[in-house]
Amino acid sequence: MIELRNVSLKYGDKEILNNVSLTVRDNTIKAILGPSGVGKSTILKLMLGLIKPNSGKVIVDGTDITNMKEASLYSIRRKMGMVFQGNALFDSLTISQNLGFFLRENMKLPEQEIERRVSEQIQFAGLEGYEDQLPESLSGGMRRRVAIGRALIFKPHMILFDEPTAGLDPVSSKKILSLISSLRHNNNLGAVIVTHIIDDVFHVADCVAVLYQGKIIFDDVTDKLNHSQHPFIRSILSDKILEL
């Protein structure tokens, strides 16, 4: 479980998050919905301890990681997988090497086990035949699937997605969303999805938090979003995609 308690964050004079509280429970998919540049990705980075809040607490599985030292954070981070918006694949490594990179780096597993897990992820992501290709030779959707595979290969409890369908064509978006939906059934995983596309929320999320002007204005099960009377939520429900 990941908890943000009264978290505030400023970049210089600009207030990004103002007293944000949020809980992501295990085995649920929670979406964080909001317009571009509102601080959604910042929330994911806070959850991983990549940045520190000005005030408030970040708690992962009961451990307060707010002021934890970088070296102590590594073991906490390994409980979570992260899929970056730009995929953040290592461009000089092949798909197989990308998938196995962190297993070789951080876990003392036998090479046979690493290879088994890599081929499992290749199969799961539907990338058979592309094992020895570099990321640059794959389509956007395929690269996203490799990034998801790389996050899953650790067998984390929670996986964080930063705009998983941004920049993808409708067919690839659908494939990625199906992949995310299947995660919970196959792996019993919790997930946080940051997005500005409302259809993605209805497609995969059990519950949703709406971030607007640095504050959470809605935090409940996805079905109840349709009944919200908040003017901003009403406007996004009619527009479907948030562009500000």
Partner 1 sequence: MLLNFARDQEKAVILWLKNFILTMQEFFLFSVRAFIAIPKIKRYWRDVLDQATICGTDSIPIVLVSAISIGSLLAIEVGNLLEDFGAKTMLGRSTSLSVIRELGPLLMGLMLSARFGSRNGAELGAMQISEQIDALRAFGTDPVAKLVMPRLLAALIMFFPLTALSDFAGLHSAAYMAEHYHRLDPGIFWNAVYPRLAPKDFVVGFLKAPVFAIIITLVSSFNGFSARGGTAGVGRSTIKGIVVSSGLVLIANFYVSKIVLENM
Binding residues (CB under 8 A) for partner 1: these are: 45, 48, 50, 70-71, 74-75, 77-78, 80-82, 84-86, 88-91, 102, 105-106, 150, 154
**C-alpha angle 230/180/125, rounded to 5°?**
155
Between 29 and 89, whose beta carbon lies closer to partner 1? 89
Is 191 in contact with 30 (CB distance < 8 Å)? yes
Integer Cα distance of 101 and 192 in angstroms:
23
Least Å distance between CB 52 and partner 1?
13
Rounded least distance, CB 80 to partner 1, Å: 8
* Min dist. Cβ of residue 222 to partner 1 (A): 26
What six digits make up the tokens of 12?
Answer: 């210089």
3 vs 162 by CB, closer to partner 1: 162
Q: Least distance to partner 1 from the beta carbon of 163, Å?
A: 12
- Please choose, from the candidates 1, 4, 58, the residue with its C-alpha nearest in 3D space to the C-alpha of residue 209: 4
Nearest to residue 201, comparing CAs of 215, 218, 187, 188?
Answer: 218
The C-alpha atoms of residue 137 and residue 233 are separated, in whole angstroms, by 40
Q: Quick one: 71 or 244, whose CB is closer to partner 1?
A: 71
Q: Please identify, using beta-carbon distances, which residue of 145 and 203 lies nearer to partner 1.
A: 145
Enumerate the β-bridge partners of residue 208: 31, 220
Q: Between helices 170-187 and 140-152, what is the axis angle to 10°?
A: 10
> CA 160 to CA 45: how far, in whole Å?
10
In this complex, which beta carbon is closest to partner 1, that of residue 76 or of residue 217?
A: 76
For 83, list phi and psi in degrees, rounded to 5: -110, 110
Task: Give whichever of 136 and 243 is closer to partner 1, judged by the CB atom.
Answer: 136
Could you tell me the smallest distance in angstroms from the CB atom of residue 226 to partner 1? 34
In angstroms, give the least distance from the CB of 88 to partner 1.
Answer: 4
Spatial contact of 6 and 202, defined as CB atoms under 8 Å apart: no
